[in-house]
Chain A
Amino acid sequence: MNQLFTSVAYLHPFVPILAIVLAVLVIMLVTSVKRSHVLNATLAVIGLNIGMFSLIAQMFGYWDVTATATFLEQSGHLFSIDKYAQFNMLVVFVCSLACVTLCYAYIDQYQDHKDELYMLILLSTTGALLMTASTHIASFFMSLELMSVPIYGMLAYTFSRNKSLESGLKYLVLSAAASATLLMGMALLFSQVGSLEFADIGQKLPQLFASGDISQAQLMVVVGFVLMLFATAFKLSAAPFHAWTPDVYEGAPAPIATFLGSVTKVAMMAVVVRFFLLSQGMGLEPIKTLLLVIATLSILFGNLLALRQTNLKRLLAYSSIAHIGYALVILISINAAAPMPMNMYMAVYALTTIGAFGVITLMSSPFHSVEDAGNLDHYQGLFWRRPILTAVLVMMMLSLAGIPLTAGFITKFYAVLASVQGKQWFLAAMIILGSAIGLYYYLRVILTLFKRPKDTIEFDAAWHWGIQAGGVMVMVVTFLVFYLGVLPSEFIELATNAKLLVPY
């Protein structure tokens, strides 16, 4: 009995994740008894909140789980809930909560079943949470699939719209191909290293590469890493594996695009950082060079292709490609001891994405089943009707462009700082070039908002959007983006403390 209790105690660090899994089960049971949109949405929010607050309690020492956590470190393990994982989990929680909030108003008048969407979102969130803590290739892959598979359903959820179906299918096919590539890479790596744990691989690699001349084994390890890199680049939508992004973003229901742009990116980047830094894959020259190429291409393609977009969702998709490029610059420049710039970058990027897509969702919510308010001219002259909603979008655009008084400025500052500290002059130049091109289209969006309004208004936010949950959430996000841009001190502290656990 005693032993049972102690082993249950070992699960304490996983309570935030378990809370969500429980919430999924409860929602499933409730749905089978009675379909009620309000009830299920509330249950999802409650589940997420329990998870988030238990996580916060653990992070800030109100609930001490260090004893069990250390035990888990010592035993062979699949997951490691270290500070780094906790930080990223918090970001995932916040993003997921925001998405659920946005979903509620968006899907409320949908003519078909609404409840399953929350189950899918929570399932996918579970996968994302597990990903941030994965320290083992098996858990990496399983949680990645757990995150991705529900997304197929979420993307195609509003199946009465052709584009939604198309985006779901597109994502399904391409994502499956990427997963297969990932598996192949993992297999190759395992065949030579003989271990699946990130840190183990990291310890064995130096021996393998000790000899100067190129052996078959070395080649296979490199090919394995390269395949894994390509697969992760696909999931992150980095160029040249980006082609799916704009189509999927455009077709996806706006709140789901929010999810895709924030939760999946944060979780994926978290595991990429952990994998490539712990397994010392970053130490391999070919991988580093390839990453450099991918980062450069992402910055250039993302920004250049965004220039002529007339659809806000597509524009944001291309901007996300560019931002992943900047994030990869950070990845190249940092080491395992200090993943702090990356923590900050992805957290702020996720916040900004929520804000930007949040506005799109609010604009489209009353018109859900027809089409989303995607086109830029749907926003023409928005300032004169909805000054506060415009302020939100302007703030997000400025943050994406990295202008002072927004959180984006601080993270861009850190991106440049990281590249300078890593002596990556070329990449620093790329950030500057990318920002220059980027400004052009971010400013174009802002200008559209201030133009003379059109005579016929196709899309508009609900009359009382400001007091709806989604509206309040978007304003809170805006305030956060502003606050973190002016007084980032505590946030930096938090991100710095979120250290990666390096077992060797």
Chain B
Amino acid sequence: MINLQNSWLLSVMSPETLAEVMPNFLPTLIAIPFVAGFLCWLIEKVDERLPRWIAVLSMFVTFLLTLLLWQHSTYVDATAIASAATTDLVWQTEFIRPWIPKIGISFHLALDGISLLMVSLTALLGVMAVGCSWGEIQRRVGFFHLNLLWSLGGVIGVFLAIDLFLFFFFWEMMLVPIYFLIALWGHDSVCGKTKEQAATKFFIYTQVSGLIMLVGILILVNAYFAQTGSISFAYQNLLTVDLGSYEYAVMLLFFIGFAVKLPIMPFHGWLPDAHAQAPTAGSVDLAGILIKTAAYGLIRFVLPFFPAASAEFAPIAITLGSIGIFYGAWLAFMQTDIKRLLAYTSISHMGFVVLAIYAGTLLSLQGLVIQMLAHGLSSAALFIMAGQLYERLHTRDLTVMGGMWGQMRYFAPLMMFFCAALLGIPGTGNFVGEFLILLGSFAHFPWYVVIATASLVLAGLYSLILIHKALFGSVSKDAIGQALRNKQTETQSAHEKNLDRIVVSFKDLGKRELSLLVTLAAGLIWLGLYPQPFLNATNQPMQWIEQSYSYQPVLTTPDVDMVAGMNGAASMNDVAGMSGINSSIHAQLPSVPTVVELSDITQAPTLPEATLTAPVLTPAAIQGGDE
């Protein structure tokens, strides 16, 4: 029916009128989940099942809207342009209304290829999240869907908001519903932590990081005020701010704000608890979409606002990211709780994301998009499967599972497929993403890339242990039930106290469950086999980000360099993001005296330009080969 409506919409509208209404799509994208969520709550009293239908329909309509937007966008084929001619900041569609004009805040939404893909992902996973909680959530259905949809609406807001106040508004707002999702419908953990504790921990971590970012935003706005005499929170205005010596500090404030949500290694404390103890829909929401907002924030705000400081900071960020890759992978391997295992794999994968962002070449940034989409789909699928397992076995404990291979016709192979996707088997989107990231980062950070590549072995390890423990072996369902009852004394949580009455079953996937997973699998395969449309969509905005990130520090190098002298020169090496290249040059010429280094730097403007434009050409070559 919706399809019909849309085709009707298309046939009635000429391209001109469509172009006129296009901006109104943006607030509509945000409004649909909010309105539908509220409806769910109201209608709960009438009928228990209606909220589910309203929720799934609303997310589906949102998804169709994004497809419509995509269909009517004119993305130039990435293979066609290799020149840097169109590297300005261009929005596909914009929507502006004054909001708090007194301090230059407007309700400013804008859409480009990156945000479009992210919103589509959000809407798609929104459908999945509603779908997977169809059987799981039986209490307070309306209020559950209110929270779920509002959090999704908040996330869509984050992806579309381009006024920094508005962005912060959505950024903070999307957390409240998720807090309720975890605190009211979550699971108490086996090791005695209640869902309320997990939810509170998540909320405090993210709120504080948000406030730290707010200080950064306000310093930025203040600097703009000092330079121009007017207050503005608009993205394009704040891009012009010259922060001077504050830049590094403000960049750090932003970075912490995003790093907690991503999460990067020392800030990840909330993630395993929140992921593991959230209801399935909450986990899908968290792992699939929410942590992508942080990556989005880093490329949308941190890189363009603070190019020089980001470049200077890149080695530290990438080191943290690399530690996260190993740390996450290793801890994932050690887990016995299937959802905690999946949560730690997210930390590991986000390490790749950090590497991609701070390498900042077009290739790595393009890889980042694919990686985010693929990770969103695959981790959502695995969390959904973990939820389905829990519905059947009433446990998430890997040590008592097993024997499902052969017993469950569809479940086992699908699980195997998604595990394979998680470790990045060619043919899935994860492979393309990781490959592009590693390739694109190699020029700037060869050693980190080598280390990160080595970590893929660990990815194999945790994926295989998951498959092995959950699917193989010869454990009968009675044995699982018995094991659970024996474990009852150890597991203290209230939810599992009445295990005696629980029947363990190996019931295979129903049609609803199957269709959810097949959709996700299809998406992954599409990403893996033909990622070109996605790369086209993000090509132009990513080119702009790459330009604003990597070129500026190089151009400013000589001026600062003259003043800074010898010590400054050494650090400017890093600013140019060239340390890797330079060190490899010096490795070949060990006898070069240090004086040459200085002259080397003063010539920097010509040298890096040559090396940095090179990657712009490469994606075309690679993707051409892919077809």
* A residues neighboring B (CB under 8 Å): 398, 403-405, 409, 413, 416-417, 420-421, 428, 431-432, 435-436, 439-440, 443-444, 447, 450, 487-489, 492-493, 496
Closest B residue, CB atoms, query A433: B208
Q: What is the bound-complex CA distance between A158 and B211, given in angstroms?
A: 43
Query: Taking the complex as formed, is B499 at the interface, i.e. its CB lies under 8 A from any CB of chain A?
Result: no
Report chain B residues within 8 Å CB of A450: 180, 183-184
Q: What is the bound-complex CA distance between A444 and B183, given in angstroms?
A: 11
Report chain A residues within 8 Å CB of B163: none
Closest A residue, CB atoms, query B100: A489
Q: What is the bound-complex CA distance between A493 and B103, given in angstroms?
A: 10
Are A439 and B203 within 8 A (Cβ)? yes
Query: Taking the complex as formed, is B501 at the interface, i.e. its CB lies under 8 A from any CB of chain A?
Result: no
Closest B residue, CB atoms, query A496: B102
Report chain A residues within 8 Å CB of B410: none
Closest A residue, CB atoms, query B102: A492
Report chain B residues within 8 Å CB of A440: 200, 204
Query: Taking the complex as formed, is B63 at the interface, i.e. its CB lies under 8 A from any CB of chain A?
Result: no
* B residues neighboring A (CB under 8 Å): 98-103, 165, 169-170, 172-173, 176, 179-180, 183-184, 196, 199-200, 203-204, 207-208, 211-212, 214-215, 218-219, 222
Sampled A-B contacts (30; CB under 8 Å): A403-B172, A403-B173, A404-B169, A405-B176, A413-B214, A416-B211, A416-B214, A416-B215, A417-B218, A420-B215, A420-B219, A421-B218, A431-B211, A432-B208, A432-B211, A432-B212, A432-B215, A435-B207, A436-B204, A439-B200, A439-B203, A439-B207, A440-B204, A443-B199, A447-B183, A450-B183, A450-B184, A488-B100, A489-B101, A493-B102
Q: A432-B208, A436-B207, A489-B100 are in contact. List 5 more A-B contacts (CB 8 A).
A: A416-B214, A416-B215, A439-B203, A443-B179, A443-B200
Report chain A residues within 8 Å CB of B199: 443
Q: Assuming A432-B212, A436-B204, is B172 touching A447 (CB within 8 A)?
A: no
Are B183 and A404 within 8 A (Cβ)? no
Closest A residue, CB atoms, query B215: A428
B206 to chain A, nearest CB (A): 10
Q: What is the bound-complex CA distance between A416 and B101, given in angstroms?
A: 19
Report chain A residues within 8 Å CB of B207: 403, 435-436, 439
Report chain B residues within 8 Å CB of A443: 179, 199-200, 203
Closest B residue, CB atoms, query A488: B100
A328 to chain B, nearest CB (A): 18
Q: What is the bound-complex CA distance between A208 and B579, given in angstroms?
A: 60
A136 to chain B, nearest CB (A): 33
Report chain A residues within 8 Å CB of B204: 436, 439-440
Q: What is the bound-complex CA distance between A450 and B182, given in angstroms?
A: 13
Query: Counting chain B CB atoms within 10 Å of each CB, which of A413, A416, A487, A492 scores highest?
Result: A413
Report chain A residues within 8 Å CB of B218: 416-417, 420-421
Q: What is the bound-complex CA distance between A444 and B184, given in angstroms?
A: 13
Q: What is the bound-complex CA distance between A17 and B409, given in angstroms?
A: 81
Q: What is the bound-complex CA distance between A137 and B176, given in angstroms?
A: 46
A393 to chain B, nearest CB (A): 15
Report chain B residues within 8 Å CB of A416: 211, 214-215, 218
Report chain B residues within 8 Å CB of A496: 102
Among the listed B102, B173, B200, which residue makes an inter-chain contact with A489, where contact means beta carbons less than 8 Å apart?
B102
Closest B residue, CB atoms, query A404: B173
Are A409 and B172 within 8 A (Cβ)? yes
Report chain A residues within 8 Å CB of B212: 432
Among all A-B residue pairs, the 8 with the closest Cβ atoms: A404-B173, A420-B218, A436-B208, A432-B211, A404-B172, A489-B100, A404-B169, A492-B102
Among the listed B169, B176, B179, B211, which residue makes an inter-chain contact with A435, where contact means beta carbons less than 8 Å apart?
B211
Q: What is the bound-complex CA distance between A398 and B214, given in angstroms?
A: 18
Report chain B residues within 8 Å CB of A405: 173, 176
Report chain A residues within 8 Å CB of B98: 489
Closest A residue, CB atoms, query B175: A403
B532 to chain A, nearest CB (A): 39
Report chain B residues within 8 Å CB of A488: 100
Report chain A residues within 8 Å CB of B211: 416, 431-432, 435-436
B205 to chain A, nearest CB (A): 9
Q: What is the bound-complex CA distance between A443 and B196, given in angstroms?
A: 9
Q: What is the bound-complex CA distance between A398 and B176, given in angstroms?
A: 9
Are B222 and A421 within 8 A (Cβ)? yes
Q: What is the bound-complex CA distance between A443 and B170, given in angstroms?
A: 19
Q: What is the bound-complex CA distance between A440 and B208, given in angstroms?
A: 12
Are A492 and B103 within 8 A (Cβ)? yes
B210 to chain A, nearest CB (A): 9
Report chain B residues within 8 Å CB of A492: 100, 102-103
Report chain B residues within 8 Å CB of A444: 200
Q: What is the bound-complex CA distance between A403 and B208, given in angstroms?
A: 11
Q: What is the bound-complex CA distance between A64 and B160, given in angstroms?
A: 46
Q: What is the bound-complex CA distance between A436 and B270, given in angstroms?
A: 14
Q: What is the bound-complex CA distance between A418 and B100, given in angstroms?
A: 17
Q: What is the bound-complex CA distance between A409 and B105, given in angstroms?
A: 15
Q: What is the bound-complex CA distance between A440 and B204, given in angstroms?
A: 7
A330 to chain B, nearest CB (A): 14
Closest B residue, CB atoms, query A489: B100
Closest B residue, CB atoms, query A492: B102
Closest B residue, CB atoms, query A431: B211
B258 to chain A, nearest CB (A): 16
Report chain A residues within 8 Å CB of B179: 443
B137 to chain A, nearest CB (A): 15
Report chain A residues within 8 Å CB of B200: 439-440, 443-444
Report chain B residues within 8 Å CB of A435: 207-208, 211
Closest A residue, CB atoms, query B249: A425
Q: What is the bound-complex CA distance between A444 and B219, given in angstroms?
A: 32
Closest B residue, CB atoms, query A432: B211
Closest B residue, CB atoms, query A420: B218
Report chain A residues within 8 Å CB of B99: 487, 489
Q: What is the bound-complex CA distance between A182 and B180, given in angstroms?
A: 47
Q: What is the bound-complex CA distance between A489 and B222, given in angstroms?
A: 20
A414 to chain B, nearest CB (A): 9
Q: What is the bound-complex CA distance between A35 and B200, given in angstroms?
A: 52
Report chain A residues within 8 Å CB of B215: 416, 420, 428, 432
Report chain B residues within 8 Å CB of A487: 99
Query: Counting chain B CB atoms within 10 Å of each CB, which of A416, A420, A440 scores highest?
Result: A420
Are B196 and A447 within 8 A (Cβ)? yes
Q: What is the bound-complex CA distance between A496 and B231, given in angstroms?
A: 15
Q: What is the bound-complex CA distance between A398 and B211, given in angstroms?
A: 15
Q: What is the bound-complex CA distance between A428 and B208, given in angstroms?
A: 12
Closest A residue, CB atoms, query B41: A387
Q: What is the bound-complex CA distance between A404 and B179, given in angstroms?
A: 14
B201 to chain A, nearest CB (A): 10
Q: What is the bound-complex CA distance between A435 and B205, given in angstroms?
A: 11
Are A420 and B222 within 8 A (Cβ)? yes
Report chain B residues within 8 Å CB of A436: 204, 207-208, 211
Q: What is the bound-complex CA distance between A243 and B184, given in angstroms?
A: 36
Closest A residue, CB atoms, query B171: A404
Report chain A residues within 8 Å CB of B222: 420-421
Report chain B residues within 8 Å CB of A398: 176
B330 to chain A, nearest CB (A): 30
Closest B residue, CB atoms, query A413: B214
B229 to chain A, nearest CB (A): 14
A127 to chain B, nearest CB (A): 33
A385 to chain B, nearest CB (A): 14
Q: What is the bound-complex CA distance between A398 and B180, given in angstroms?
A: 13
Q: What is the bound-complex CA distance between A488 and B203, given in angstroms?
A: 25
Q: What is the bound-complex CA distance between A440 and B183, given in angstroms?
A: 13
B279 to chain A, nearest CB (A): 15
B424 to chain A, nearest CB (A): 37
A406 to chain B, nearest CB (A): 10
Q: What is the bound-complex CA distance between A404 and B170, given in angstroms?
A: 8
Q: What is the bound-complex CA distance between A409 and B169, given in angstroms?
A: 9
Q: What is the bound-complex CA distance between A436 and B206, given in angstroms?
A: 10
Query: Counting chain A CB atoms within 10 Å of each CB, which of B199, B214, B219 scores highest?
Result: B214
Q: What is the bound-complex CA distance between A443 and B203, given in angstroms?
A: 9
Closest B residue, CB atoms, query A421: B222
Report chain B residues within 8 Å CB of A489: 98-102
Q: What is the bound-complex CA distance between A413 and B199, given in angstroms?
A: 24
